[in-house]
Amino acid sequence: MADSDFDGKAELFVIHRTPLYSDTGISYGSDYFTTLVYKRIDPLTYERSERVSTYFGAGGDVLSSPTSDKLAYKYPYKSEASIQSRLASVQYKAWFEQKPITTRISRKTYLHDQPNVADKTSKYLIDGDEVQVLNQEAGWLEAVFHNKKKGDIKGWIQCKDTLECANQTLGVDK
């Protein structure tokens, strides 16, 4: 239980963990997790909070190849502690309040068409590039980079490749 919408009432968080026994085409390095969030309507009724559930999302650690231990993606919300930490962050509150968020890229990072490692494009951003965050989901940021020559470049990037997840945000626009 945690207050994810800042109304003083705790929502029910359900972290479902399951092992993967079949070949999905993705090399998972962990179990698969789904985080669902429910708002209490009355003592016996809960309603799913789609927006917050999508924010924490689902996923598992993904290996860079079937024969490697190197992670291509690490699902960030496997525990109560990781969720509590994010709920207490300035970044989460800014996202929840739908404030414009900007951050900087901290290393070369490829853009993805969707928030998963399988949809990687050939486009990338480099250390120092400033992006506007449009959405967040399961450790991914939908971001837009304003390129003076080529126009806006939009895609999904891993939050770990930005200052947004290093708790050193460039800032929340007022």
Q: Are residues 41 and 111 in the same domain?
A: no
For residues 173 and 110, is the Cβ–Cβ distance under 8 A? no
DSSP character string of 128-151: T-EEEEEEEETTEEEEEEEETTTE
Q: Are residues 136 and 105 in the same domain?
A: yes
Among candidate residues 84, 112, 136, the one where a domain is terminated? 84
Q: Please give the residue range of the domain that contains residue 160.
A: 89-174
Digitized pLDDT (tens) for each residue of the chain, 174 residues in all: 999 999 999 999 999 999 987 677 788 888 999 999 999 999 999 999 999 999 999 999 999 888 888 999 999 999 999 999 999 999 999 999 999 999 999 999 999 999 999 899 999 999 999 999 999 999 999 999 999 998 999 999 999 999 988 754 444 444
Alpha carbon distance 120, 86 (integer Å): 26
Half-sphere exposure of 85 (CA within 13 A, CB side): 10
How many domains, in total, are found in the chain? 2
